[in-house]
Amino acid sequence: MKKLHIYIRRLFHLSAREVGLMVHNPIYICCMVVFPLVVILFFTSLMSEGQPEKLPCGVVDNDNTSMTRAMIRQLDAFQSTHVAGHYNSVAEAREAIQRNEIYAFLYIPEGTTARLISKRQPKVSFYYSNVTLVAGSMLFKDLKTVTTLSSAAVGSAKLQMLGKTPSEIRDFIQPIALDVHMVGNPWMNYNVYLSSIMVPGILILFMFLITAYSIGTELKFGRAHGWMAMADGNIFIALTGKLLPQTLIFLSIFLGYEWYVYGYLDFPHPGGLHMILLLAALTVFSSQGFGVFAFGLMPSLRMSMSVCSLWAVVGFSACGATFPLFAMDGMIEALAQIIPLRHYYMIYQICIFNGYPLIDAWLNVVALVAFAALPILVTRNIKRAMVEYVYIP
């Protein structure tokens, strides 16, 4: 009982010391509070439209009849398309794409209407650039719809003339219709899709780096002996006391982020509050665990921080949120399992975004717990480093 009391007092003193260090080094406040907030605001405000609207699209209308103009007006009326320019030829329109003025264009050759009326099957084309994938596929969808509708309008007029009812016409023109259910994100909101992985990714990056940095600077500024003395040589007490204030700050930032996106911006979260809280705790603990582990493995400030940054940055691609993991090479698929962000993404999308039970993501939960437990393997190494090593730049 008395021993426990001593431990708690030591922990308290170590935490107080850490808070003192953090207050005096502005880099901590920047990386733990200021930058994360900026990043959260950056991503959510950048994509606040949800889905890109009014993407510039060009038109080459060599026919210029009331029918083609109606078609262009219809295209312009789509939410994601904006007819930004009329061009005289395909070559001009292509140059406009190369100058990044438009992402796609519709080409209507001369005589289209005449051939359409006289039943000689004219051909219209549209060209879209996939260099910006989102813009390309959005415009593809609108251009495809508008051309299909124009084609169907001819059949519809003819059937109307024959005295068919509107529902008969619909049934004839589209015998099989798709009921598309975009489960979880029916607006196809890119803010929901991208912000909920990019922002945590950067928060994890900061947790990695700050953890490694704060332990490494003990060596660098020659405070290591004092630190160990305060913990009476017990590395567990030393680490816990040091990381506790950071854990609390990271946890509040992460919960603040979650409140902002789920509570304020109302991103879909059918998984509920308990999953959100669980994921926050898992993420913070596993990231700190990884940071400690990286330092313990290579007790050099620079090397551990380099490893942490490389790990976190590769995570953005290898987590499989943008390009699916199962489409990557087998080796990368295996490698992705040792990246915490991958498991964060899996738990997030299975349990929070789609609302499936936690058991479906048990493997990922175990993985994050394992990351959090990694420091156990290297505590001896860290202690030795603190007692024996000297900082080499």
Partner 1 sequence: MSEEKSSHTPIKKAGSGILGFLSSLCYIWWLETKSTIKDEGVLIFFILVPLAYPLLYSWIYNNEVVREVPVAIVDLSHSASSREFIRDFDASPDVHAAYYCNSLREAQGLAGKQAVHGVLYFPEDFDRTLNRGDQAHVGVYCDMSLMLTYKAIYQSALAVSLKMGEERQKPRSFSFTERDEELNTEPLSVDAQPIFNTTGGYGNAVLPGVLILILQQTLLLGIGLSAGTARENNRFQDLVPIGRHYDGIMKIVLGKSSCYFMVYCVMSAYITMAVPYFFSFTMLARPSDLFWLLLPYLLAVIFFGMTLSCMVRYRENVMLLVVFTSVPFLFLTGVSWPQSNIPGIWQGFSWLIPSTFGVRGYLRISSMGGSIDDILPEIRGLWIQAVVYFVTTCFVYRYQIISARKHAIAHYQMIQNSIRSAREKRADGK
Kindly identify the residues of this chain, within the stretch 310-339, that bind partner 1 according to CB under 8 A.
310, 312-314, 316-318, 320-324, 327-329, 332
Q: And the tokens for 289?
A: 């665990």
d(CA 143, CA 97): 16
- The one among 79, 160, 165, 174 contacting partner 1 by CB under 8 A: 174
Kindly identify the residues of this chain, within the stretch 192-211, that bind partner 1 according to CB under 8 A.
193-194, 198, 201-202, 205-206, 209-210
**Minimal distance in Å, beta carbon 108 to partner 1?**
10
Q: Which is nearer to partner 1, 11 or 325 (CB)?
A: 325
- The one among 24, 121, 388, 390 contacting partner 1 by CB under 8 A: 121
56 counts as binding partner 1 under rule CB under 8 A: yes
261 counts as binding partner 1 under rule CB under 8 A: no
Q: And the tokens for 96?
A: 């406009």
> Residue 198: what residue type?
M
**Minimal distance in Å, beta carbon 105 to partner 1?**
9
219 counts as binding partner 1 under rule CB under 8 A: no
Question: To which H or E segment does residue 275 belong?
Answer: helix 273-297
Nearest Cα neighbor of 36 from 206, 196, 281, 195 is 206
Burial 34-44 (b: 16+ CB within 10 A, else e): ebbeebbeebb
Kindly identify the residues of this chain, within the stretch 271-290, that bind partner 1 according to CB under 8 A.
none
Q: Which is nearer to partner 1, 321 or 367 (CB)?
A: 321
Phi, psi of 67 (to 5 degrees): -70, -45
Q: Which is nearer to partner 1, 232 or 360 (CB)?
A: 360
Task: Say whether 105 sits in a helix, a strand or coil.
Answer: strand
**Minimal distance in Å, beta carbon 91 to partner 1?**
12
Q: Which is nearer to partner 1, 244 or 314 (CB)?
A: 314
- The one among 15, 44, 81, 150 contacting partner 1 by CB under 8 A: 150
Q: Residue 57 in contact with residue 75, Cβ under 8 Å?
A: yes
Number of residues that bind partner 1 (CB under 8 A): 116
Residues in contact with partner 1, shown as a per-residue x/- string from 64 to 103 under the rule CB under 8 A: ------------------------------xx-xxxx--x
Task: Say whether 103 sits in a helix, a strand or coil.
Answer: coil
- Helices 301-318 and 196-220: angle between axes, nearest 10 degrees: 170
Say how many C-beta atoms besides its own lie within 10 A of residue 81's C-beta. 25
d(CA 42, CA 306): 25
Sole residue written with tokens 């499989």? 320
Q: And the tokens for 350?
A: 């299975």
- The one among 87, 127, 295, 371 contacting partner 1 by CB under 8 A: 127
349 counts as binding partner 1 under rule CB under 8 A: yes
Angle, CA 145 vertex, CA 175 and CA 126 arms, to 5°:
130
30 counts as binding partner 1 under rule CB under 8 A: yes
> Residue 58: what residue type?
G
367 counts as binding partner 1 under rule CB under 8 A: no
Kindly identify the residues of this chain, within the stretch 100-119, that bind partner 1 according to CB under 8 A.
100, 103-104, 112, 116, 119
125 counts as binding partner 1 under rule CB under 8 A: yes
- The one among 4, 176, 264, 390 contacting partner 1 by CB under 8 A: 176
145 counts as binding partner 1 under rule CB under 8 A: no
246 counts as binding partner 1 under rule CB under 8 A: no
213 counts as binding partner 1 under rule CB under 8 A: yes
d(CA 93, CA 126): 11
- The one among 58, 216, 289, 299 contacting partner 1 by CB under 8 A: 216
d(CA 344, CA 348): 6
Q: Which is nearer to partner 1, 7 or 316 (CB)?
A: 316
- Alpha-carbon dihedral angle through residues 63, 65, 68, 69, given to the nearest 10 degrees: 120
7 counts as binding partner 1 under rule CB under 8 A: no
- The one among 78, 126, 290, 371 contacting partner 1 by CB under 8 A: 126
d(CA 86, CA 226): 73
